[in-house]
Amino acid sequence: KNQVEQSPQSLIILEGKNCTLQCNYTVSPFSNLRWYKQDTGRGPVSLTIMTFSENTKSNGRYTATLDADTKQSSLHITASQLSDSASYICVVSANTGGFKTIFGAGTRLFVKA
């Protein structure tokens, strides 16, 4: 069964600290993995995309990693800011003849001053 599991469910950190969010998936055949940021009251917005051959990609203070062998990804946030408070959703796409997109439940991040 195609699944995407994220951990932790929620996380509280102090402003300026770093954090790492985890995503494990069982989606097959793997096509790509995206991390989305969802602010409260808004729709998700794409942060990064990773394909099978990529193992690190950065977008400003966000760095995503992918280990296709263990089917794990992480999103590392450096020097957190109050505006990083949001849900972060891992989304994995499979190319099954039709294209299937599976969403994780998200990690809710709270950055406190």
Record the tokens describing residue 6, joined without a space. Answer: 């994220």
Range 30-89, binding other proteins (CB under 8 A): 31-32, 34, 36, 41-46, 49, 89
List 81, 105, 110, 112, residue binding other proteins (CB under 8 A):
105
Residue closer to other proteins by CB (options 34, 66) is 34
In Å, what is the CA distance from 75 to each residue of 3, 63, 102, 106, 108? 18, 6, 17, 12, 13
* Nearest partner of 33 among 2, 77, 79, 11, judged by Cα: 2
* Interface residues toward other proteins, by CB under 8 A: 4, 9, 31-32, 34, 36, 41-46, 49, 89, 91, 93, 95, 99, 101-106
